């Protein structure tokens, strides 16, 4: 298992985040991002994510593996829910489950949440991994004219056994 650090997005070089957000393989999984992710988009993105931290006390982190920026994600408020996002560079896609475990441990212990959600566009038809992790289909919603399916993971009754 690699050494993973969760740091604020502001600790990552601007160019690294811009490169990730413009990676075509990554972009296919992010229907809300259109066009080039520019320096101006970076500033708006960072500002909005820092505002989440200020208002709610939580928001997304940057994931650093060794000394490399691997991606960003974590929990952020989305329509009244703590929504999970993982945006990883393809070189780090194998770390998704490890990061998921770190995030849900924080969600269900430190943050004392009763559930978390994840939003997938309907085009992401292979959701079997979500079901294996314990998520259940919850509802459908529209965000910025895009349809999403919301899946929910309830806090495990026996957290230690379920999360570890």
Q: pLDDT digit of tens for each residue in the chain (164 aa)?
A: 468 999 999 999 999 999 999 998 888 777 677 778 999 999 999 999 999 999 999 999 999 999 999 999 999 998 889 999 999 999 998 898 899 999 999 999 999 999 999 998 888 878 888 899 999 999 998 888 888 999 999 998 765 445 55
**Which SS3 state, helix, strand or coil, does residue 5 take?**
strand
| Number of domains into which the chain is organized | 1
**What is the per-residue DSSP string for 86-109?**
EEE-GGGGGGHHHHHHHHHHIIII
pTM for this one? Answer: 0.87
Domain that holds residue 153: 4-163
Q: How far is CA 3 from CA 59, 74, 87, 95, 117, in A?
A: 21, 17, 18, 11, 26
- Per the CB < 8 A criterion, the answer to whether 69 and 16 are in contact is yes
Give me the DSSP letters along 10-55.
GGS-HHHHHHHHT-HHHHTT-TT--S---HHHHHHHHHHHHHHHHH
In whole angstroms, what is the distance from residue 125 CA to residue 131 CA? 12
Residue 123 sits in a domain whose CATH number is: 3.40.630.30
């Amino acid at each position: 298992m690699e050494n993973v650090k969760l740091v604020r997005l502001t600790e990552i070089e601007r160019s690294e985040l811009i490169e990730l957000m413009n990676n075509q393989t990554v972009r296919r999984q992010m229907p809300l991002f259109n066009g080039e992710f520019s320096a101006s988009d970076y500033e708006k993105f960072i500002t909005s994510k820092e505002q989440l931290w200020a208002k709610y006390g939580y928001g997304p982190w940057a994931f650093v593996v060794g000394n490399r920026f691997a991606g960003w994600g974590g929990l952020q408020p989305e329509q009244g829910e703590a929504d999970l996002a993982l945006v990883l560079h393809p070189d780090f896609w194998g770390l998704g489950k490890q990061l998921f475990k770190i995030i849900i441990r924080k969600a269900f212990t430190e943050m004392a949440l009763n559930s978390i959600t994840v939003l997938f566009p309907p085009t992401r038809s292979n959701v079997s991994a979500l079901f294996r992790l314990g998520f259940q289909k919850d509802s459908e919603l529209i965000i910025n004219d895009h349809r999403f399916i919301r899946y929910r993971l309830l806090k495990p009754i026996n957290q230690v056994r379920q999360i570890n």
